[in-house]
Amino acid sequence: SAAEKGGYDSFMLKEIAEQPRAVADTLLGRIDAEGALTLDEVRIPVPELRAVEKVVVVACGTAFHAGLIAKYAIEHWARVPCEVELASEFRYRDPILDRRSLVVAISQSGETMDTLMAVRHAREQGAKVLAICNTNGSTIPRESDAVLYTHAGPEVAVASTKAFLTQLVACYLVALYLGQSRGTTWGDEVRSVIRDLAGIPAALERVLAAVEPVRELARSLADRNTVLFLGRHVGYPVALEGALKLKELAYMHAEGFAAGELKHGPIALVERGLPVVVVVPSPRGRSVLHGKIVSNIQEIRARGARTVVIAEEGDDAVVPYADHLFRIPAVPTLLQPLVATVPLQVFACELATARGNEVDQPRNLAKSVTVE
Ligand code: AGP
């Protein structure tokens, strides 16, 4: 009913708007008075965390994209090798696991059969399993060794939005906790990242306040067949997520590519007028990547692409090559997916509406996939 949607046209729009709150709630109770990380709820003893030799993240769909981003954070802060695999592939590959493997299973519903089968398989091999889950008492956390709940609240729309952002927050916390436990990230750095995370809800409010032009652009593209998404580093999974949203909701051909792969094939797809959404890394920090992406934007535009650029406030280098430019607040590189994903969610939602699609219940999809 309209009341349940809180005045929004769809649950999806409502859930997009709830993201600042969902992120804040997922941080709540996990930071102590001194600004340090407290994850005692993850009942894996520190000596076991120190003994971990590899982390394997398993998940499906949007949760898999959160896992791809987790890899950057885990390898950066915890300095432990991390693989990420689709749960449906992992189970049948005979993966190499033992007591020193930590498997992180990410699932909003906690009922996804592919992910559950991966969890069971991992535990049979002796691996420890940590679930990141949004649904209290669901099957995946019940069958795991430990759980870190996301506090997104119930997600009704089939397309995942707020659950994804909170999965990212949980992944950052796990990466920091691993780093803290293993002594690869010191208290000061942990506290500084926690401060940055605590600033994300306000940054998200600013992103949400500025989405109207994204909606306008989406409406103008309603008759297109294809949209491509490019990103690099943590922006690459964001591109994949933007493309998945568009497939699910707008039933359009949408693909995400690693920008560095362009010249290895995908650039052949670029033709006059093709909309290409580019997620631009911060010009601070990894400035080498920033420069490379700016060249990519230049290259595709020279071949006729209509460039839709998502870039940090104050990033002037992209201005000459952006047909459409959407600004996101400057946040540390690893955290950028939290702010960069939101315009892509709005874009897909609005395009779906403009094409007359049912946003909350896309055709052929179920909220939770409980069969293999
Ligand atoms: C997201 O928009 C999708 N509907 C889907 O990919 C989903 O993320 C996937 O099925 C995993 O679900 P889970 O998080 O409940 O395990």
Q: pLDDT tens for residues 281-320?
A: 999 876 789 999 999 999 999 999 999 999 999 999 999 9
- E strand or H helix at 349: helix 336-354
Classify burial at 222, counting beta carbons within 10 Å of its beta carbon; exposed 0-12, middle 13-18, buried 19 or more. middle
Asked if residue 107 has pLDDT above 70, the reply is yes
Q: How far apart are CA 122 and CA 94, in angstroms?
A: 10
Mutate to test the pocket of ligand 1, among 109, 161, 167, 371 (most ligand atoms within 8 A of CB): 109
Asked if the model's pLDDT at residue 347 lies above 70, the reply is: yes
| ipTM tops the 0.85 cut | yes
Nearest atom, ligand 1, residue 160 CA: 2
State the closest ligand 1 atom to the C-alpha of 62, by its place in the atom list counted from 1. 8
Angle, vertex CA 35, rays to CA 56 and CA 155, nearest 5: 55
Report pLDDT for 200.
98
Confirm whether pTM is higher than 0.90.
Answer: yes
Question: Considering just the CA atoms, what is the radius of gyration of the chain in Å?
Answer: 20
Please identify, by atom number, the ligand 1 atom nearest to the C-alpha of residue 163: 14
Nearest CA to ligand 1 atom 6: 61
Give the C-alpha separation, 239 to 362, whole Å: 20
Indicate the top mutation candidate among 57, 85, 108, 359 to test ligand 1's pocket, ranked by most ligand atoms within 8 A of CB.
108
- What residues act catalytically? 367
Compute the distance from residue 108 Cα to the ligand 1 centre, in Å: 7
Considering only CA atoms, which residue is closest to atom 16 of ligand 1? 107
Q: Which amino acid is at 254?
A: A
Distance CA 70, CA 179 (A): 13
Q: How would residue 270 be classed by pLDDT, with cut points 50, 70 and 90?
A: very high
Residue nearest to atom 2 of ligand 1 (CA): 159
Q: Kindly list the distances between the CA atom of residue 228 and the CA atoms of 58, 62, 166, 240, in Å, as whole numbers in the listed order.
A: 26, 17, 26, 10
For residue 2, name the pLDDT band (cuts at 50, 70, 90): confident
Q: Given the CA of residue 135, which atom of ligand 1 is nearest to it?
A: 15
Contact (Cβ atoms closer than 8 angstroms) between residue 359 and residue 341:
no
The confidence score (pLDDT) of residue 51 equals 96
Question: What CA–CA distance (Å, rounded) separates 348 from 246?
Answer: 5
User: CA 82, CA 92: separation in Å to the nearest integer?
Assistant: 19
> For atom 3 of ligand 1, which residue has the closest CA?
159
Q: What is the distance in A from the centroid of ligand 1 to the CA of 42?
A: 23
pLDDT of residue 197: 97
- 319 CA → ligand 1 middle, Å: 35
Distance CA 317, CA 324 (A): 14
168-177 pLDDT per residue, tens: 999 999 999 9
On average, the pLDDT of the chain sits at 95
- Of all helices (H) and strands (E), which one includes residue 229? strand 226-231
Nearest CA to ligand 1 atom 7: 61
Distance CA 365, CA 159 (A): 9
Measured in Å, residue 322 CA sits from the centre of ligand 1 at 32
Bridge-partner residues for 327, per DSSP? 311
Site residues for ligand 1, CB cut-off 6 Å: 60-63, 107-109, 112, 115, 158-160, 248, 365, 368-369
pLDDT bin (cut points 50, 70, 90) of residue 3 is confident
Q: How far is the CA of 365 from the centre of ligand 1 (A)?
A: 10
Give start and end residues of each alpha helix (H) in 186-230: 187-198, 200-209, 212-220
Edge-to-edge, what's the strand order for the sheet holding 275-279? 253-258, 226-231, 275-279, 306-312, 324-328
194 vs 43, 137, 260, CA distance in Å? 21, 27, 31
Which of ligand 1's atoms lies nearest the C-alpha of 140?
A: 16
Q: Whose CA is nearest to atom 5 of ligand 1?
A: 61
Tokens of 314: 């104050």
The pLDDT value given to residue 286:
66
Among 12, 60, 150, 361, say which to mutate for ligand 1: greatest number of ligand atoms within 8 Å of CB: 60
pLDDT computed for residue 284 by the predictor: 86
* Predicted local distance difference test score (pLDDT) of residue 91: 86
Q: Under a CB-based contact definition with an 8 Å cutoff, are residues 99 and 267 in contact?
A: no
Over residues 181-209, the mean pLDDT reads: 95
By alpha-carbon position, which residue is closest to atom 4 of ligand 1? 159
**Distance, CA 109 to ligand 1 centroid (Å)?**
8
pLDDT per residue over 121-157, tens digit each? 999 999 999 999 999 999 999 999 999 999 999 999 9
Instruction: Answer for the pair 240, 344: CB distance below 8 angstroms, yes or no.
Output: no
328 SS3 class = strand
Query: How many whole angstroms from 132 Cα to the centroid of ligand 1?
Result: 13
Question: What one-character-per-residue DSSP string does 80-109 give?
Answer: --EEEEEHHHHTTS-----TTEEEEEEESS
Of the listed ranges 101-105, 180-184, 300-304, the one predicted with least confidence: 180-184
Backbone region of residue 94 per phi and psi (left: phi > 0; alpha: psi in -120 to 50; beta: other values): left
Phi, psi of 170 (to 5 degrees): -60, -40
> Is there a contact between 106 and 119 (Cβ–Cβ < 8 Å)?
no
Measured in angstroms, how far is the CA atom of residue 107 from the centroid of ligand 1? 7
Our measurement of the distance from residue 159's CA atom to the centroid of its chain's CA atoms, rounded to an integer in Å, reads 13
Q: Which residues pair with 310 in a beta bridge?
A: 279, 326
| CA–CA separation, 79 and 186 (whole Å) | 13
40 pLDDT more than 90: no
